[in-house]
A and B are shown apart, each in its own frame.
Chain A
Amino acid sequence: MKIKVAGVGLTKFGEIWDKSLLDLALEASKEAISDSRLALSQIDAVFVGNMLIGKIAGQDHLGPVIASSLGLSCASFRIEGACASGGLAVHLAIQGILAGTYKNILVVGAEKMSDAPITQITWALMGAGSSKERKAGLTFPALYALMAEAHMQKYGTTRKQLANIAVKNHYHASLNKMAQYPFEITVEQVLESSLISSPITLLDCSPITDGAAAVVLSADDSKKGVYITGSAVASDTIDLAERESLTELKATQIASKTALKQAGVEIKDIKIAEVHDCFTIAEILAMEDLGFCSPGAGGKFIASNATRLGGKCPVNTSGGLKACGHPVGATGVKQIIEITQQLRETAGQRQVKNANIGLTQNVGGTGATVVVHVLQN
């Protein structure tokens, strides 16, 4: 597999009061098309990753909304897979190119979350959970809190180890002008912030974010550039309680194994990664499930600074979902953009030296959907 990331476009992430979802999607899309140096007429499909806009603004049927606003009459689709909607849209666009149906596809992930009150967003996000979870009054912070508790019980992972992840990702975001929270925080601030769902505090959580991210994927492999060489999706039970283990995401293990095999590389070859740190515990699970460290060792591994900028394998140099922000439908696409910028050596202050192979992991729900991509230059 060799799919070129021909162009990238990204809006500022944050509470963007003066722009609608369509404004954000068009801004990112036009930048990506311009960056690709393709003419608009050469785009032959539009894939849109989005989870929430139908629930919070009543606007479904998003594919043609965005395609027609760009002046395109080509095929257009909306892809929904909870917080993995963006990664799924990239994966499906790749399949469309590999099948020979399309040659140049615009993939845009977009979400507009700050227009709705917090209780409505919390309720809408629980659409990614099970009926039993909704009836129990669970929320996504609570579901990840249950996984954190299970990890603490089984492996002795500490609150401070969780807080270290938020501190690291805020440091990375402080170097990223597109991040929602481009400033540093301390371990003490994380530990002392208000409880959302014990043991998870406010600063363990990714925020509610507006933003859009777009890439143009192309079948053209004639020139030097950044290419997606592995792309895989795996599924698990929608209900966390039904899993064999509460301390691992089986879908991450399956999808990463497949994507790495497609790319012909091993996890030890990965120089940089963007993983789904929707809550701090999620980055620990990602490190373990992807094979960067052994099960139970994630907290210590991250505390060793191996995944901080300057470490052996920097993780979430964008600031991750935690500090760059998490406009859920855009996140999986933004991860592709961050790795592309690193491999192009255009990441500025947060540039990782000699980065030539990168990986993204995008999670839907509590791991019912996981998308993994491998990128190389």
Chain B
Amino acid sequence: MSSPVTVWRHHKNIKNYLGKTGKIVVWTKIFIAPAGFEHEAPYPVAIVEFSPSAGSGLVTDRMPLQLVEYEEKHLKPGQKIVTVVRKLGKVGLDKVIEYGIKGKPV
């Protein structure tokens, strides 16, 4: 799990990814999870494609996102997604809770 200063630095960048809409390119449902995510399995993760930001120089802008508040019918290429803030993984009671970007079907 991340140290408090790493979490603090990461949190400062969240706003740059919030409220963006994109669409699912491919998705998978994970049944065997890494440490910190075991309690959420099975959970879907998708590569989501966004329109590139002006001046970014990118042809496409894609990122991997864990999907939340989904129904099975949303798990398909082309599904519209909006980025939201959610808690990342699970930490011990004495650790800093980390938040990050996830994708919610719309």
Contact = CB atoms under 8 A, between A and B. Distances in A.
Interface of A: 118-120, 122-123, 126, 132-139, 141-142, 145-146, 149-150, 153, 194-200, 239-242, 244, 246
B89 A137 contact: yes
Contacts of A246: 25-26, 47
Given A135-B100, A137-B33, A198 B28 contact: yes
A120 B62 CA distance: 28
Contacts of B102: 136
Main secondary structure of the interface of B (DSSP, over half): strand
B100 A195 contact: no
Interface string B27-70: 11111111111101001010100000000000100111110000
Contacts, number: 89
CB-based closest 7 A-B pairs: A145-B28, A241-B62, A123-B35, A136-B64, A137-B37, A149-B26, A119-B35
Nearest to B38: A119
Contacts of A197: 28-32
Given A137-B89, A153-B26, A246-B25, 12 more contacts: A118-B32, A123-B34, A136-B66, A139-B33, A145-B28, A146-B26, A146-B47, A146-B64, A197-B31, A198-B29, A240-B47, A242-B62
Interface in B12-30: 25-30
Given A197-B28, A198-B29, A246-B26, A139 B66 contact: no
Contact of A137 (B25, B40, B59): B40
Contacts of A141: 30, 32
A122 B31 contact: no
17 contacts: A122-B32, A123-B34, A134-B34, A135-B88, A136-B45, A136-B65, A137-B30, A137-B34, A141-B30, A141-B32, A142-B45, A149-B26, A149-B28, A194-B31, A195-B31, A196-B31, A246-B25
B31 A138 contact: no
Contact of A139 (B30, B47, B77): B30
Contacts of A196: 31-32
Contact of A133 (B27, B64, B100): B64
A122 B26 CA distance: 22
Given A119-B38, A137-B43, A150 B64 contact: no
Contacts of B64: 132-133, 136, 138, 146, 239-241
A138 B30 CA distance: 8
A138 B36 contact: no
A136 B43 CA distance: 10
A198 B66 CA distance: 14
A119 B33 contact: yes
B101 to A, nearest CB: 8
Contacts of A123: 34-36
A153 B77 contact: yes
Nearest to B77: A153
Contacts of A133: 64
A139 B32 CA distance: 8
Nearest to A205: B32
A153 B28 CA distance: 13
Contacts of A135: 88, 100-101
A320 to B, nearest CB: 21
A139 B59 CA distance: 27
A133 B88 CA distance: 12
A255 B9 CA distance: 37
B34 A126 contact: yes
